[in-house]
Structure 1
């Protein structure tokens, strides 16, 4: 699947070429990984991924909406502002965190310290939100929460980029991706069980996530990074350049970035306002929607499992990635159209389940593509931060745009979710098409 002309193929021979034109170094951190991950390591990686996803997604998909309803009822558009601003803050700092991670030399490794740092910041943010007396403090708390859990999640993904050989990229991406699909569903169930206490809605899922994240480096140590050579010198120029990359030199990385960006615009159009969408279409109070969201999600878990496992394992076996990305985009369109026209629970369930399946396929297979086309493996943390821009920028701007879209043609208290979901379908389709047609070095 990886051709000799693939961007970064020279690193398979241990050659690192940095943007700063430093001398080549030979280092185990640069070589395309060959040693398979053990089953035990994969299990703990899955559990850590589960924890990070639960801690982040429960507030995003349910908790913050509850706080808005408590503090500013009838102003659901504030959800877009709060989540968008938090994402924007993380976007600014993520490459700096990536550089810091790449250059960390400690007996605990390069990535593990950032799992702990992110977990501590994220948990503190959830405590702030749970106790916040105003939406301004809720927003500040979610900036901490988003930054913290994103740092921890990015460290887990970079560990996979560091350690996964090509033969396992689809499978392990499938298994960890499955965990990120299941975690929000079970997390919302946990939140619903303690929904009488708003503080616990945030802290209990966060505490579960924190424990799982903290255990992973203890039970499966990353290994010391003290003996790794530093590949680049940090300068103002190198920091500024870390926010981008050479598009002409790495065209596949660039096209995949763009396709991912467009797809995630569509995804966030169709998921950010899910709690309010269900409340409107089913004529239910927002607080009571958690039970519906959890029920729909639990039904969708099986679909997500099928999507992640089928996409990951089949793309490994058939050695074809782009085809599965496009299949996911087409099925996403179908699911979005079903939800856009839904005014009953069965139709909402059908659309949501189909979308969960397709999101799992896309996330799994495209992540495997990313691991294969990272340009410079000695700077994996930096490039993983850059590829996350393709997801994080949409998660920052799509909620803001979606908040405006739902006001188009709105009558009374009913927002225009039909238009929002149909626009999301269009973006997702074109994102998949870009990856299918333009990423050349991966089949």
Structure 2
């Protein structure tokens, strides 16, 4: 496979075709299959089977997934930075997509054979490490190849693929008939889904002369993106972080909200119904919102109004505490988050400081997706327990989301 004869450090001008977008989206969705088959189904089954006497399955699952989350936080920017500096004949990103996917599939098979909690934790951390290598490279391919006024629509397709990847991973893990078969199915799908992009499309090659000389201290220091030097990136990062905190708070205690506040007879089924409603409305808007943003050439109004819509949905959970109210809130939340997902991705690629560091900078930005999963429990638990329960929790979440949406006006370099 030859590499594309285009300077990867220039701002892309030529629009990418449907085949490129489709295969990259498929690769993105396949990576999410490798993550969410385990996260939704398989790890929970293993935790129950492997939990030592006197230790609950919930504790084992929390410990294993928490360790994996820590690895993910570090791996994404690290591998993004390494792909930035790769001068392989196969390009900057493709070697990491191939290596990350194949070793990730092997790690999933290793995880399926775990005889103990320690093995399970180590293998899951390896899955996070390797699949993040592939994910960082897939994400960085967008600012490498896609012109600014096409990034909303491409981001929308990536977001739709991500959502479908979560569903497909859950379905494969459920239908395979056992944990070993479930892991094997997810591993096979992940590799097969990445292949079309790798085989059909040439990557951009970085000339060795353009790679900065290696300096460990400078490399480590590069992961700190000074808000003073890059204010647009800082405000955009904070917007994404706060809106994701709000969304994580909503989802975290949804099962308990249905059981303890709405007194649903089958809260598990209720969560499934709300998740389906949310997913359908998100899928309906994630591509449309990105295309609309591209056509208008604007990002900030879409972020503001989608954030406001999500805050309305969260407020409904606080003020209209009935089952119909929860369904309406789930639908509105999906509409808002769908638009936000695609347009915010485009906005983030628009404020990247340096072409040389696109992969690393997007990895740092992706921390704003992962960190809320840690921050949300720390915020939610004391509010539910001591400070007013679910009504106050969801009102606080709505305010956090509104503040996040409002802060995007501080981004000066994007309309």
SS, match of residue 361 in structure 1? helix
CA separation in 2, counterparts of 1:340 and 1:199?
Answer: 42
CA separation in 1, counterparts of 2:26 and 2:164?
Answer: 11
Partner residue in 1 for 2:207: 227
Partner residue in 1 for 2:410: 438
Q: 1:172 deviation in Å?
A: 0.8
Partner residue in 2 for 1:207: 188
Alignment of 1:263-282 (within 5 A): 263-272=243-252, 282=264
8 Å contact 2:107–2:124 — kept in the other structure? yes
CA separation in 2, counterparts of 1:319 and 1:39?
Answer: 20
Partner residue in 2 for 1:3: none
Partner residue in 2 for 1:353: 331
Counterparts in 2 of 1:214 and 1:303: CA distance versus 1, 3 Å: same
8 Å contact 1:121–1:148 — kept in the other structure? yes
Q: 1:184 deviation in Å?
A: 1.2
Say whether residues 1:184 and 2:161 are aligned partners.
no
CA separation in 2, counterparts of 1:403 and 1:74?
Answer: 22
2:155 to 162, 165, 173: 173
Partner residue in 1 for 2:3: none
CA separation in 1, counterparts of 2:251 and 2:48?
Answer: 18
Say whether residues 1:148 and 2:130 are aligned partners.
yes
Q: Deviations over 1:383-408 (max 9, x none)?
A: 1122122223333x236526845872
SS, match of residue 427 in structure 1? helix
Alignment of 1:310-389 (within 5 A): 310-338=288-316, 347-389=325-367
CA separation in 2, counterparts of 1:131 and 1:345?
Answer: 42
SS, match of residue 89 in structure 2? coil
Partner residue in 1 for 2:93: 111
SS, match of residue 92 in structure 2? coil
Counterparts in 2 of 1:228 and 1:293: CA distance versus 1, 3 Å: farther
Partner residue in 2 for 1:35: 14
Alignment of 1:69-108 (within 5 A): 69-72=48-51, 76=58, 79-108=61-90
Q: Higher helix share goes to which structure?
A: 2
8 Å contact 1:88–1:393 — kept in the other structure? no
Partner residue in 2 for 1:261: 241
Partner residue in 2 for 1:398: 375
Partner residue in 2 for 1:52: 31
Say whether residues 1:131 and 2:113 are aligned partners.
yes
| Unmatched runs of 5 consecutive residues or more in structure 1 | 1-26, 411-415
CA separation in 2, counterparts of 1:255 and 1:131?
Answer: 44
Counterparts in 2 of 1:417 and 1:181: CA distance versus 1, 3 Å: farther
Segment of structure 1 superposing worse, 88-97 or 375-384:
88-97
Counterparts in 2 of 1:93 and 1:302: CA distance versus 1, 3 Å: closer
Q: Deviations over 1:84-120 (max 9, x none)?
A: 3322223234333222111111221110111122213
Q: Deviations over 1:180-218 (max 9, x none)?
A: 122212332333333x51333444234212210133211
CA separation in 1, counterparts of 2:325 and 2:180?
Answer: 33
Q: 1:260 deviation in Å?
A: 1.5
What TM-score comes out, normalization by structure 1 length? 0.80
SS, match of residue 271 in structure 1? helix
CA RMSD of aligned residues (A): 3.2
Q: 1:308 deviation in Å?
A: 0.9
| Unmatched runs of 5 consecutive residues or more in structure 2 | 1-5
CA separation in 2, counterparts of 1:130 and 1:431?
Answer: 40
8 Å contact 1:29–1:228 — kept in the other structure? no
CA separation in 2, counterparts of 1:129 and 1:279?
Answer: 33
Partner residue in 1 for 2:232: 252
How many residue pairs match? The answer is 404
Say whether residues 1:237 and 2:210 are aligned partners.
no
Counterparts in 2 of 1:62 and 1:295: CA distance versus 1, 3 Å: farther
Say whether residues 1:307 and 2:288 are aligned partners.
no
8 Å contact 1:158–1:381 — kept in the other structure? yes
Q: 1:439 deviation in Å?
A: 0.8
What TM-score comes out, normalization by structure 2 length? 0.85
8 Å contact 1:77–1:403 — kept in the other structure? no
CA separation in 2, counterparts of 1:239 and 1:126?
Answer: 30
